[in-house]
Amino acid sequence: MKTTYRRQFTMILCLLVAAILVIGLSFLYLFDRYAQDHQKQSLDDTAQSVTELVQSYSATYLNSWEFRTNLAVAARASDNDIVICNSEGVVCICMERSNCEHLGKRLDSDTVDTLFQGEKAKLNKAVSTLYGDERMASAIAVLNNDGSRLCIVVVSVQKAAITALTEKMLRVFLLAALLILVAALLAIPIFTRREARPIQEMAAAARQIAHGNLDVRVPTGNENEELEELAVAFNNMTLALKNSETIRNEFVANISHELKTPMTTIAGYLDGMLDGTIPPEKYRYYMELVSTEARRLSRLVRSMLDISRLRDQGIPADQKTNFDICEAAGQALLCFEQRINQKKLNVEIDMPDEGLTIHAAQDSVTQVLYNLIDNAVKFVNEGGTLSVRIRRHGNSAMISVGNTGKTIPPEELPLVFDRFHKIDKSRSNDRDGWGLGLYIVKTIVLAHGEDVYVTSQDGKTEFTFSMSLAK
């Protein structure tokens, strides 16, 4: 993990250094160009000023003390080297900060002729040859009033003086870039350790989870929003796994408990017939008991398969059709006619005369109705009331199945839809009560994207669920 962060940080560092170098070198190039352009303009301005000074004196007075004094002032003000060449290009007047070792030297004739013709000459090369070092120069040829050649004003400066500042800035820039690079290299281990720590903690926690420890959690409160979000998601996942593991363990324990009785009963009866404990004349009676227990096991397995299918696959869209929920409820009630008559129940039905068409999986909704009515018939008091109400509520149909009898305690209401939870086992003598009927109801309703709830007060319990109306 550290290697990954170190690699990423190194790549970012390289890009940063490259960007700094490109920007810095571009700036230095532009600065150098600006410095040269500025210096060239200064040379041109000085040359023009000296030319105007020369023109204010006649040829006779160029060697005068006054002229030389003014020329010296101009040289000091411009901080440039100034020489005046005669009409032949020979240096005759020199105003420099250093000794004028080039007095009497001559510009090449081509340069002299080009200047007096008012054309551009390769002046820098010519002046550099004159001085013996690399220079930048500006020159103006001055004519007499009659148009004859008077002199040439040459203003120059060493190129080393121009590039010195640029070179100094280059050294400063390279030093700064080096310091940034060193600081970044020193920061890599610190950064990688800090950034990798949350991921390493998650990796360690994941290894503990792999070994069965679902109580582990990773610290939150990371400054990195992405890592903080990942840490929260990781903890939520761990909590969900723990809850799932708890549910699984409870499920295994419950189903083991529920299977234990019928399996023990079946094994006991069969062993009794095999070892002769049960006489042959009673075989049929006990075989009927074994058959009853076997069918109970089959119903349990079928119920668990239905629950597993609904939880994994939901309700496929192609299984949903339009059908009348009132008609489906009526048909479900007919299945319990015999049990209703045995308990002498009063049946209250409240449905719209025109019916209500819903869009759902008909077999699944029929199973919900069957389970709710079965639960109501099971727990209704003898001679009590069984009610089925269907009404329209917005774009949904609200279906309610209720019964009179013992009120469910408030603390039990949140548990009635749990797997293998039996509401007061003492109220029912039905040995088929696995505690799965209401759980299947909830699973089917939730798979449709709807909801189911229960109310129980003043001796009446009512289960209500919703289904979307057909469009």
> Do 152 and 21 sit in the same domain of this protein?
yes
Average pLDDT over residues 284-294: 82
pLDDT for 433 = 46
- Percent of the chain scoring above 90 in pLDDT: 19
Collapsing DSSP states into helix, strand and coil, what is residue 451?
Answer: coil
Is 177 part of a structural domain of the chain?
no
> Do 144 and 282 sit in the same domain of this protein?
no
> Do 330 and 432 sit in the same domain of this protein?
yes
Q: What is the CATH number of the domain that holds 343?
A: 3.30.565.10
> Do 277 and 352 sit in the same domain of this protein?
no
- pLDDT: which is higher, 194 or 415: 415
Q: Which of 311, 334, 368 is the last residue of a domain?
A: 311
> Do 305 and 345 sit in the same domain of this protein?
no
59 contacts: CB under 8 Å, gap ≥ 6: 144, 150, 151
Q: Contact, 459 vs 403, CB < 8 A?
A: no
Give the DSSP letter of residue 85: E
> What is the C-alpha to C-alpha distance for residues 81 and 103, in angstroms, rounded to an integer?
13
Q: Which of 262, 294, 311 is the last residue of a domain?
A: 311
Average pLDDT over residues 185-203: 69
> Do 391 and 412 sit in the same domain of this protein?
yes
DSSP of 356-381: -EEEEEHHHHHHHHHHHHHHHHHHSP
Is 196 part of a structural domain of the chain?
no
Is 201 part of a structural domain of the chain?
no
For residue range 349-375, list pLDDT tens digits in order: 999 989 899 999 888 888 889 889 989
Task: Give residue 280's identity as a one-letter amino acid code.
Answer: P
For residue range 93-110, list pLDDT tens digits in order: 888 755 677 788 889 889
Is 439 part of a structural domain of the chain?
yes
Rounded to the nearest 5 degrees, what angle is found at the Cα of 390, between the Cα atoms of 386 and 396? 145
Is 185 part of a structural domain of the chain?
no
51 contacts: CB under 8 Å, gap ≥ 6: 140, 142, 153
Among the residue ranges 71-75, 132-136, 208-212, 383-387, the one predicted with the least confidence is 208-212
> Do 248 and 324 sit in the same domain of this protein?
no
Residue 55 pLDDT exceeds 70: yes
- pLDDT: which is higher, 457 or 230: 457
Q: Which of 112, 138, 164 is the last residue of a domain?
A: 164
Write out the two tokens for 434: 């696995």
> Do 269 and 370 sit in the same domain of this protein?
no
Pick the most confident of 75-79, 156-160, 187-191, 425-429: 156-160
Q: How many CB atoms lie within 10 A of CB 160?
A: 11
Q: What is the CATH number of the domain that holds 249?
A: 1.10.287.130
Residue 254 pLDDT exceeds 60: no
pLDDT for 429 = 40
Range of the domain at 448: 320-468
> Do 151 and 75 sit in the same domain of this protein?
yes
> What is the C-alpha to C-alpha distance for residues 286 and 279, in angstroms, rounded to an integer?
10
Helices assigned H by DSSP within 282-390: 283-313, 325-334, 337-342, 362-379
Residue 465 pLDDT exceeds 90: yes
Is 203 part of a structural domain of the chain?
no
> Do 376 and 399 sit in the same domain of this protein?
yes
| 442 Ramachandran zone, left/alpha/beta (phi>0; psi -120 to 50) | alpha
Is 261 part of a structural domain of the chain?
yes
What 55-60 contacts at long range (C-beta under 8 Å, 24+ apart), as own/partner pairs, is 55/142, 59/144, 59/150, 59/151
Helices assigned H by DSSP within 211-282: 225-275
The pTM assigned to this predicted structure is 0.45
> Do 367 and 463 sit in the same domain of this protein?
yes
Number of domains in the chain: 3
Average pLDDT over residues 142-161: 86
Residue 427 pLDDT exceeds 50: no
Average model confidence (pLDDT) across the chain: 80
Residue 434 pLDDT exceeds 60: no
Is 191 part of a structural domain of the chain?
no
Q: What share of the chain is helix, strand, coil (3-state, %, to 5)?
A: 60, 15, 25
Q: Contact, 42 vs 74, CB < 8 A?
A: no
Q: What is the CATH number of the domain that holds 7?
A: 3.30.450.20
Average pLDDT over residues 138-155: 89
> Do 139 and 279 sit in the same domain of this protein?
no
Residue carrying the six token digits 């790549």: 11
pLDDT for 435 = 62
The torsion angles phi and psi of 23, rounded to 5 degrees, stand at -65, -45
Pick the most confident of 212-226, 242-256, 257-271, 354-368: 354-368
> What is the C-alpha to C-alpha distance for residues 266 and 196, in angstroms, rounded to an integer?
60
Among the residue ranges 63-72, 133-142, 271-280, 398-407, the one predicted with the least confidence is 63-72
> What is the C-alpha to C-alpha distance for residues 356 and 338, in angstroms, rounded to an integer?
27
148 contacts: CB under 8 Å, gap ≥ 6: 87
